[in-house]
Amino acid sequence: MSELEKTKYNAIDNLKKLCARCDSGLEHNCRIQNLICEINSLSGIPVIVNDKLRHLVFN
% of the chain beyond a pLDDT of 90:
42
Reduced to 3 states, what is the DSSP secondary structure of residue 7?
helix
Q: Give the residue with greater pLDDT, 4 vs 5.
A: 5
User: In whole angstroms, what is the distance from residue 24 CA to residue 56 CA?
Assistant: 31
The length of the chain in residues reads 59
Identify which of 52, 50, 40 has the alpha carbon closest to the alpha carbon of residue 2: 52
Q: Output the pTM of the full model.
A: 0.69
Q: Please state the rounded mean pLDDT for residues 22-46.
A: 88
Predicted local distance difference test score (pLDDT) of residue 53 = 67
**pLDDT band for position 15 (cuts 50, 70, 90):** very high
Q: Is the predicted pLDDT of residue 2 greater than 80, yes or no? A: no
Predicted local distance difference test score (pLDDT) of residue 5 = 82
